[in-house]
Amino acid sequence: MIRLSSADTTVEEAEAAGAPLVDTVRDAVAAAFVDALDDAVIESFVKPGCDVIIRVRTDAWLQAADAARNGLGYRFFDFLSAIDWMPSPFGRDMDAEQDTDSADAGSAAAEPIVAGYGGGETRFQVLARVYSLYEHVGVTLKADVPDDDPSIESWISVYGGVNWHERETHEMFGIDFEGHPGLRHLYLPGDFEGHPLRKDFPLVARRVKPWPGIVDVEGMPGADDDEGADA
């Protein structure tokens, strides 16, 4: 374990010097992960002073956890969740002009899937965050979940606390975790159908009744840059 000075001082120093942002701590962390996981890492991304994102291969998901906890000393398990990268077929569910145009479902679904930091090829991506108490740096691990069979290895053998997080992710996204002892629903009633956090799951309240948020405020600030226009 390499002990380094606080990440944020490094950034501040870099900023003070006027140099482009360089985060030596997080660069080193990313490098350590690439070392430990070898070719299992697809992409590593460092956002200086903020975050490290490591994307690993789907089949190396458990191996990544093991390497993080037992190899690199990331003992603190922060959270595990997932992202549905498909653009919502319902648009933003706002009643701004551009939203009402695309309100009929399907038109927006044609938009391509664009993943965030670290990239991604599939619609679903699991992400988990672990934290090192030695270096005080958190790392976000990501892995793609296959579209045709949304399942991935469970982390439960490495981080016991992942139990509820995986149950939540299972019910919200419909992702299976192989090796999890009881993927029961955590929040929703036993027979709830559908996976609410998927983008194609409609938010019924918005479908039934339009959101008043934009209508009843005094003319959306900034619609007109002129201050006097509001008065």
Partner 1 sequence: MTAPSEPQQLAYIAGQAADARVNVDIETGDGMILNMGPQHPATHGTLRIVAKLDGEQVVSAEPIMGYMHRGYEKLTEVRTYPQVTTLVNRIDWLGNFANEVPFILAAEQLMEVEAPPRAQYIRTILFEMSRIANLALFLGDMAVQLGATTPVFYAFRDREHVLNQIEAVTGGRFHPNFDRIGGLKDDLPKGWIDDTKAVMGKLRTFCDEMEDLVVGNEIFQTRTRGIGIIPADTGLEYGLSGANIRASGVDWDLRRDNPVGLAWDKVDWKVWTHPDGDSFARYWVRLQETREATYIVDQLLDSIPAGPIMAKVPRIIKVPEGEAYVATENPLGEMGYYVVSKGDLVPFRVKIRSASFSNISIAPWLLQGVYVPDIITILASLYFILGDIDR
Residues forming the site for partner 1 (CB under 8 A): 6, 8, 47, 50-51, 53, 69, 75-79, 81, 83-84, 87-88, 92-94, 96, 114, 116-117, 127, 129, 133, 136, 138, 140, 159-161, 163-165, 172, 184-192, 196-197, 201, 203, 206, 211, 213, 220-223, 225
In the bound state with partner 1, the residue whose beta carbon lies nearer, of 39 and 160, is 160
In the bound state with partner 1, the residue whose beta carbon lies nearer, of 27 and 39, is 27
CA dihedral 177, 145, 207, 194 (to 10 degrees): -30
C-beta of 140: minimal distance to partner 1 in Å?
7
C-beta of 152: minimal distance to partner 1 in Å?
17
What six digits make up the tokens of 48? 């200086």
Give yes or no for a contact between 49 and 57, defined as CB atoms under 8 angstroms apart: no
Q: What angle do CA 192, 112, 44 make, to 5 degrees?
A: 90
What six digits make up the tokens of 77? 């398990």
C-beta of 97: minimal distance to partner 1 in Å?
13
C-beta of 210: minimal distance to partner 1 in Å?
11
In the bound state with partner 1, the residue whose beta carbon lies nearer, of 39 and 189, is 189
What six digits make up the tokens of 65? 């956890």
In the bound state with partner 1, the residue whose beta carbon lies nearer, of 13 and 184, is 184
Q: Concatenated DSSP letters for 48-59?
A: TTTEEEEEE-GG
Residues 6+ apart with CB under 8 A from 113: 85, 86, 87, 123
Q: Which residue has the tokens 């590593």?
A: 44
In the bound state with partner 1, the residue whose beta carbon lies nearer, of 69 and 180, is 69
C-beta of 62: minimal distance to partner 1 in Å?
15
Q: Which residue has the tokens 């000075």?
A: 5
